Chains A and B, each alone.
Chain A
Amino acid sequence: MKDLMRIKSLLSAEIESLLNQQVKKEAHSSAIYLSMASWCDRNGFDGSADFFFKQSNEEREHQLKIYKYILDMGGTAISPDINNIKIEFGTFREVFEDALDQEIAITQSFKNIVARCHKEQDYVTLEFLNWFLREQREEEYVARRALELFEVIGENGTGYWDIDKNIGNIKYSAE
């Protein structure tokens, strides 16, 4: 008896479902960063607004990368609906605290999919996910460093102004 399931798709139902959930999480990240960009812009933090616009675009690219992978492997990619995006933030600092929380949640989520791939011996998807694991290293570093600026620069006097000017300069080099 032919293995029609395997002929149709490289992905198991479980991994396909986890990847679709990840598509939704990346879309959600993209929407949250867009919301953060709006808040920063409204409150005079132009540098941070730019930073979050860029982050939002990156998340959108992550979403599409997974979306296309699901389709390329013969799966069904599901376009997610995103709602309940936070519009207001209490403080400038809170925006960055949320950003780091967001990235940590994404890293955890990838770890979960990777664990499943190991269990199913899906080495093809595992190799695909390596790019994202590397990306999360950078994402967490940048988010953590941004929050650190609140400590090293300080929030008093022209602190916010300086922080906002420096957010865009944060760079990560793995080497």
Chain B
Amino acid sequence: MLGRDRFDTTELIEVFVTAKGSIYQSDVENCLYLTFSGKTSRLSFQSLNDLKKIIDKVDLGHMCTLIEHADIEIILLKDNCFVLSGIEIIYLKEILQGAFTMFRLNHIITDCLDRLVIS
């Protein structure tokens, strides 16, 4: 699923994966790879955070009532553009929520380890 010609998968750490997409972290590049609906985007943590904020704000109920540009949301992010349907937003939301839960968990663990006093 991940385009091996674009980056070395061996250095990537799985953050969160669903049947619909995935987020991997590169500690070497300090960035994240989001694979979703057939494309992989390289994002900084800031951009992924911004994307999550935008996705969380999308009013799905309102989207469904639109007739003309029915069921499509266009999200512009610094170097990326996402054109998503309502169902894709639901899938992406799940991936992002999972990933951020893992980030928080990782932070708690790192924080605990940092505070360990080794005598």
Interface residues of A (CB under 8 A from B): 1-8, 76
B65: chain A residues at CB < 8 Å are none
A76 to B110, CA, bound (A): 23
Contact A8 B46 (CB under 8 A): yes
Contact A4 B30 (CB under 8 A): yes
A94 to B102, CA, bound (A): 51
A8: chain B residues at CB < 8 Å are 45-46, 49
A158 to B17, CA, bound (A): 75
Contact A1 B13 (CB under 8 A): yes
Contact B106 A3 (CB under 8 A): yes
A2 to B27, CA, bound (A): 6
Contact B25 A1 (CB under 8 A): yes
A4: chain B residues at CB < 8 Å are 25, 30, 32, 45, 103
B104 within 8 A of A: yes
B39 within 8 A of A: no
The A-contacting residues of B in range 26-40, CB under 8 angstroms, are: 27, 30, 32
B30: chain A residues at CB < 8 Å are 2, 4, 7
Contact A5 B107 (CB under 8 A): yes
Contact B27 A7 (CB under 8 A): no
Contact A2 B25 (CB under 8 A): yes
Q: Kindly identify which residue among A1, A5, A7, A76 contacts B104, using a CB–CB cutoff of 8 Å.
A: A5
Contact A1 B27 (CB under 8 A): yes
Write the B50-84 contact mask toward A (1 if CB under 8 angstroms, else 0).
10000000000000000000000000000000000
A3: chain B residues at CB < 8 Å are 103, 106-107, 110-111
A13 to B103, CA, bound (A): 11
The A-contacting residues of B in range 8-31, CB under 8 angstroms, are: 13, 25, 27, 30
A4 to B27, CA, bound (A): 9
B111: chain A residues at CB < 8 Å are 3, 6
Contact A1 B106 (CB under 8 A): yes
Nearest CB on A from B79, distance (A): 17
